[in-house]
Amino acid sequence: MNINDTSMPDASRTTGTSLEHASFPHLSAIEWEALHRLAAVSGDAVTKTPLSGGTEEQQRLAAQEFMARELADLRQRVSTPTQTKNKSDIVKLDVSTYSGAGEGRRHLNRWFCEVDIAIEARQLSTELARTRFLLSKLAGKAKEWALGKLVTDVFCFPTMASMKADLRLAFAPPQDESVQRSAFLALKHGRMSMLEYIQRARHLVSCITTHPVHMATQVHVFISGMSAGYQRFYLTRKTPPTLEEGFAVALREDYSVTASQAFDVSRAPVPEPERMEVDAIQQFGGRRVPMSSARPPTASSTRRPRPMRCYRCGKPGHRAAICRAPAPMQANATVAYDVAAPKTGDNR
């Protein structure tokens, strides 16, 4: 291949040499083109030296080294836009503030976990950005404490870990983990629901991070603190390996027991009394008309309505309870009259 080949016009103009590819049969077409690109980038003397006085291995090595550099540059150019694209995936999460005072303040372990999640979502990579973000979420006494330290020493918070450690020393209650450990070991189910009992156990375990309780001890404390019942009996027979698995089994068994108590399928339904025609009445035109006479019987009904007749006046269409006719006199009725007492001398 001639150096002045039309396939590589730029390289031929740059090198200005009359060397041809036929003079170097040990070089492949790809290696020869790589040498042309090397001459175009670095100059004519860089390629003329190995082609004129170098061995075949040196010529081939020069071409391969240049191709390796080209590949590395290409990979770097491809990876750079990917990092820029990831910055568009930033999620700004809301983080609660920490004041360091009050009975309702959050535990530092839980608040630090919330801050770490927000920092990861915002993709804050430098320690300065992380410490400033943590500082922005302080309030009250905690913020006054942090600003006071920054006024005296600008570099008092070099890393995120050191700032967390200083916050623990300043605002964490003394012997906090010992108190939380004692509360967890003495945890009892009591009158709490199963979900409340599980949440209480999870909260106490999350507060013990420096010297965590062994997993087997956690499971034992959780099962032994449960109230006597089917849930505890099931977990005692089949002890779960982790505390979270114990939580899942306890919730499932508690739901099964609650559902079985709410609906007993073995209990037969109690028969209800049927409505009588006397009670099935409605107001119609100022008179109470039985529903059986007001509505035509359905085709599925096996009972046929009987004609209603008043036993007081003998007329149909109403009952004796609402009849206004006078009661009939009996033919064989007897009338008893009071007999006058005989007169005596005392009655005169």
Contacts of 166 (CB under 8 A, 6+ apart): 149, 156, 157
Per-residue model confidence as pLDDT tens digits over 287-304:
555 555 545 555 555 566
Tell me what pLDDT residue 257 has. Answer: 84
Q: Which of 73-82, 127-136, 166-175 bottoms out in mean pLDDT, i.e. has the lowest? A: 73-82
Tell me what pLDDT residue 32 has. Answer: 76
Averaged pLDDT, 187-197: 91
Q: Is the pLDDT higher at 23 or at 346?
A: 23
Tell me what pLDDT residue 7 has. Answer: 41
Is the pLDDT at 29 greater than 60? The verdict is: yes
Is the pLDDT at 17 greater than 80? The verdict is: no
Residue 326 — pLDDT band, cuts 50, 70, 90? confident
Phi, psi of 282, rounded to the nearest 5 degrees: -145, 160
Per-residue model confidence as pLDDT tens digits over 250-265:
999 888 888 877 665 5
Averaged pLDDT, 187-203: 91
Percent of the residues in the chain that have a pLDDT greater than 70, as a whole number: 68
Is the pLDDT at 143 greater than 70? The verdict is: yes
Is the pLDDT at 201 greater than 90? The verdict is: yes
Per-residue model confidence as pLDDT tens digits over 53-65:
677 777 778 777 8
Delimit the domains of the chain by residue range: 9-87, 108-171, 176-260
- Strand segments, DSSP code E, in 203-278 are none
Could you tell me the two tokens for 262? Answer: 């709410």
Q: Is the pLDDT higher at 42 or at 183?
A: 183
Task: Find how far residue 308's CA is from the centre of its chain.
Answer: 67
Is the pLDDT at 281 greater than 70? The verdict is: no
Burial 74-85 (b: 16+ CB within 10 A, else e): eeeeeeeeeeee
Is the pLDDT at 88 greater than 70? The verdict is: no
Tell me what pLDDT residue 298 has. Answer: 54
Tell me what pLDDT residue 272 has. Answer: 67
Tell me what pLDDT residue 60 has. Answer: 76
Tell me what pLDDT residue 287 has. Answer: 53
Amino acid at 96: S
Tell me what pLDDT residue 286 has. Answer: 47
Residue 159 three-state SS: coil
Averaged pLDDT, 167-196: 88
Is the pLDDT at 220 greater than 90? The verdict is: yes
Is the pLDDT at 176 greater than 60? The verdict is: yes
Q: Which of 11-15, 124-128, 234-238, 330-334 bottoms out in mean pLDDT, i.e. has the lowest? A: 11-15
Q: Which of 38-47, 69-78, 150-159 has the highest mean pLDDT?
A: 150-159
Is the pLDDT at 156 greater than 60? The verdict is: yes
- The per-residue DSSP string of 93-152 comes to -----B-S-STTPPPHHHHHHHHHHHHHHHT--SHHHHHHHHHHTB-HHHHHHHHHHHHH
